[in-house]
């Protein structure tokens, strides 16, 4: 791999003003990207992210579930940096506070809001990216944020069934689109973390029983919650030309979650 795997790439990160997205945007610039546009719902976070990223980064405040949001971010990338090469969709989150949970407790609002936030927003951003990449005719890359909960559930601690359904659907959607757009040299892949220390994970990170479970469920590196930077290398790779022959794949960056039984702590 080149010392600058993303040399001259111009990328958009939907949901990039905090956590996994911001960490990835910094890694993209360090990997040689000419420019990165990052978006987020909170204007204050967008302002703070712009200071972190410096001249190579531009931020845009807005909601990923708005159909106009991703097109605006892509247009901004083209205006500020002169093109568009790829999209990383990170935006999403737990619907627990909105009514997600075990299916018999799932509220109508929890179902709607969780699917909108985690699945609809990805389809909207991917649609916008594909329209631009097809118009440009040079190919490109799309990376979608999944979760190991889409196929490897945790009954005791992470029983949010609408969220799991959305993350499973992201895999099917991405694979289907990858098959369709491969002849156009547009690649689509999924990055699927386990529990990572982000604003979304505050509940879990503050629960001693969950931390004891994670010590055996994510046993790599001493058994710990993931850090945003643990996912950066995978994101850079999948958006780079080093992955030019990779599409329709799911890469779990999960500390061993998918292959570990995990031991329930005593009550």
Q: Would strands 10-14 and 35-40 be described as parallel, antiparallel, or unpaired?
A: parallel
Please answer whether residues 195 and 148 qualify as being in contact, where contact means their C-beta atoms are separated by less than 8 angstroms.
Answer: no
Q: Which residues contact 156 (CB under 8 A, 6 or more apart)?
A: 213, 264
Please identify which of the residues 163, 180, 181, 237 carries the catalytic annotation. 163
State the sign of the Cα–Cα–Cα–Cα dihedral 5, 6, 8, 9. positive
Cβ atoms of 49 and 109 within 8 Å: the answer is: no
Closest CA to 85 of 203, 205, 5: 5
> Are the C-beta atoms of residues 175 and 222 closer than 8 Å to each other?
no
Q: Could you give the CA distance from residue 36 to residue 29 in angstroms, rounded to a whole number?
A: 7
Neighbours of 151 (CB within 10 A): 15
Q: What angle do CA 187, 255, 91 make, to 5 degrees?
A: 50
- Told to judge if 181 belongs to the known catalytic residues of this protein, a careful annotator would answer no
Q: Which helix (H) or strand (E) holds 24?
A: helix 19-30
Q: Which residues are catalytic?
A: 163
């Amino acid at each position: 791999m080149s010392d600058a795997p993303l040399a001259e790439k111009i990328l958009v990160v939907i949901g990039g003003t905090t956590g996994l997205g911001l960490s990835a945007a910094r890694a993209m610039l360090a990997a040689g990207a000419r420019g990165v546009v990052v978006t987020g719902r909170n204007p204050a976070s967008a302002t703070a992210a712009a200071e972190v990223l410096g001249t190579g980064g531009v931020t845009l405040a807005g909601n990923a579930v708005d159909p106009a949001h991703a097109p605006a971010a892509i247009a901004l990338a083209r205006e500020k940096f002169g093109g568009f090469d790829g999209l990383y969709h990170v935006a999403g989150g737990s619907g627990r506070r909105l009514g997600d949970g075990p299916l018999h407790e799932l509220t109508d609002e929890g179902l709607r809001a969780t699917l909108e936030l985690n699945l609809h927003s990805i389809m909207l951003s991917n649609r916008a990216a594909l329209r631009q990449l097809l118009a440009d005719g040079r190919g490109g890359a799309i990376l979608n944020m999944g979760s190991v909960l889409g196929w490897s559930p945790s009954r005791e601690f992470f029983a949010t069934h609408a969220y799991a359904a959305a993350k499973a659907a992201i895999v099917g959607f991405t694979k289907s689109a990858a098959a369709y757009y491969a002849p156009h040299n547009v690649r689509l892949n999924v990055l699927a973390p386990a529990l990572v220390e982000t604003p979304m994970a505050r509940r879990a990170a503050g629960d001693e029983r969950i931390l004891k479970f994670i010590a055996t469920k994510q046993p790599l590196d001493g058994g710990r919650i993931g850090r945003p930077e643990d996912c950066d290398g995978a994101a850079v790779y999948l958006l780079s030309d080093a992955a030019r022959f990779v599409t329709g794949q799911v890469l779990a960056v999960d500390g061993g979650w998918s292959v570990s039984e995990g031991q329930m702590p005593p009550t």
